[in-house]
Amino acid sequence: MEFCNDIREYIQKLKEIGELKEINKTVDWNLELSAIMKRNNDMKGPALLFNSIKDYPAGFSVLGSPVAASNKENMLYSRIAVSLGLNPDTHIFEILEKMSHINEIKPIPPVIVDSAPCKENIFTGDDIDLFSLPAPYLHGGDGGRYIGTWPIVVTKTPDNRWVNWGMYRLMVHDKNTIGGPVIPTQHIGLHFAEWKKLGKDMPFAIAFGTDPLTPILASMAIPEEVSEADIAGGYLGKPVELVKCETVDLNVPASSEIVIEGYISISETRPEGPFAEYTGFIAKNKKDQPVFNVTAITHRNNPIMPVVCTGEPVEDHLCMSVSLAAEALSQLRKKGLPVVMAYIPPSSALHMLVVSVEKHKYKGDDLARDVGNTIWAHKIGTFMPKILLVEDNIDITDINALMWTFSVKCHPEKGVVFFKDTKVITLSPYLYPEEKKSARSTTVVYDCTWPSEWEQETTPENASFKTMWSKEIQEKVLQNWSNYGL
């Protein structure tokens, strides 16, 4: 595998495969930049490197849509593949297989280096100004400028036993404070609870523009008490290089373009939001969230800030659709279920998991319930309230095939299995207020497999080119296709 050591190598690789477009015309950080990104995402266009941003000096750049979808044939997931060190035309199933084994990798601890380019410019005290960085105002209706849409947030437990890299949205309040969700069930929230118990503010560091693998790992469901830096080293086959922060006792990837350091207050909150999320909707309410007090900003000369413009699919949450499906695949296989593949359709906004199975190999009483219990017992299940269970003769990447099999094979009563009082992520737009408050709702499996008790001779068979005609006829027709004038 060929890995990109930093975002600059990644940009060069995207150029080589035709997945990057540089925009040298000056664009406004206030809605114009994001509108270009959103329109480009709708067309599945290339990643965009904005080289001239209004109100910012020459040299400050924004990389838009770093892991969004491609419209090139067999290249939908090309940016994710390259981030993982794979060929850009790697099939999604191969990517999922690769990622499904990440948590089984033997960890390699990181090493600390003395310096890194992200130390070329250091600002502390009165020199701190978050507005000196080209954070865009993304959506009309957002509560502010969001500086964090594709960062890694580094936190740790007070006793240093566990360092976490996570990915969370971050809004600029003013020149030296940020706001963002610190959700109790997420790893940042578990760390925050330990610091709060001690009565101490929690140190944090936010790294932007690292190597492309790092943010993917930060967005994955890495188990508790496991540090993403160790997993990254295991995946790369060598230790990840980290560099010490200036004002907090944390380390960040040496490949970082920009680093923001500080402390999350255990007592001070300010309203954060609204924000147009990956669900494709904007919730109009603000919510009090802990304040991130910034104590230092460091960055490279001519820094590059990665930015994701969330909204109606498909955008950069395509990457999370891969990582969540890969973990679902891993968990289902660990349970011994006859799963062939798991997949999240890009247009589902992470809300629908499709699972294909070899049902004839299933030995239990209720496959749909076993699949649902496995997924919703795991952290990843909070994102995926709906599961479509299909047999392995269906192409689960084909939305037309999925619509067909759901429409004709899922019994309106017997094929629908509900799971009451399940943990869910509160960003789902359909949730009622009381469900958002409790973070619990009903989830569902749509079973689109034939009932096991049906006799083989009475079970409907697919009427397709591959099933209704012999191999001999299929090959004859394909060989003579052009001779038919087709």
101-153 pLDDT, tens per residue? 999 999 999 999 999 999 999 999 999 999 999 999 999 999 999 999 999 99
Summary mean pLDDT of the chain = 95
Contacts of 115 (CB under 8 A, 6+ apart): 243
Examine the pLDDT at 1 and tell me if it is beyond 80. Answer: no
For the ranges 82-91, 240-249, 451-460, which has the lowest average pLDDT? 451-460
Residues 335-458, CATH architecture: 3-Layer(aba) Sandwich (3.40)
Closest C-alpha to 447, from 412, 396, 395, 404: 412
For 253-273, give one letter per residue: b (16+ CB within 10 A) or e: bbbbbbbbbbbbbbeeebebb
CA atoms within 13 A on the CB side of 485: 0
Task: Report, as an integer, the average pLDDT of 13-39.
Answer: 96
d(CA 81, CA 83): 5
According to the model, what pLDDT value does residue 457 have?
Answer: 79
Percentage of residues of the chain with pLDDT beyond 90: 92
pLDDT classification of 459: cutoffs 50, 70, 90: confident
CATH numeric code, 7-307 = 2.30.110.10
Examine the pLDDT at 373 and tell me if it is beyond 80. Answer: yes
Task: Report, as an integer, the average pLDDT of 251-266.
Answer: 98
Show which residues are catalytic.
Answer: 277
Angle, CA 429 vertex, CA 368 and CA 148 arms, to 5°: 110
Task: Report, as an integer, the average pLDDT of 246-251.
Answer: 98
Task: Report, as an integer, the average pLDDT of 447-472.
Answer: 88
According to the model, what pLDDT value does residue 456 have?
Answer: 80
Task: Report, as an integer, the average pLDDT of 362-386.
Answer: 94
Residue with tokens 């269970």: 389
pLDDT classification of 284: cutoffs 50, 70, 90: confident
Return the H-helix or E-strand segment holding 241. strand 241-244
Examine the pLDDT at 355 and tell me if it is beyond 90. Answer: yes
Contacts of 222 (CB under 8 A, 6+ apart): 102, 103, 228, 231
According to the model, what pLDDT value does residue 375 have?
Answer: 97
Identity at 95, one-letter amino acid code: I
According to the model, what pLDDT value does residue 438 have?
Answer: 94
pLDDT digits (tens, 9 = 90+) for 417-435: 999 999 999 999 999 999 9
Identity at 18, one-letter amino acid code: G
Angle, CA 79 vertex, CA 348 and CA 12 arms, to 5°: 155
d(CA 136, CA 275): 13
The domain spans of the chain are 7-307, 335-458
pLDDT classification of 461: cutoffs 50, 70, 90: confident
Contacts of 33 (CB under 8 A, 6+ apart): 27, 50, 53, 62, 64, 136, 307
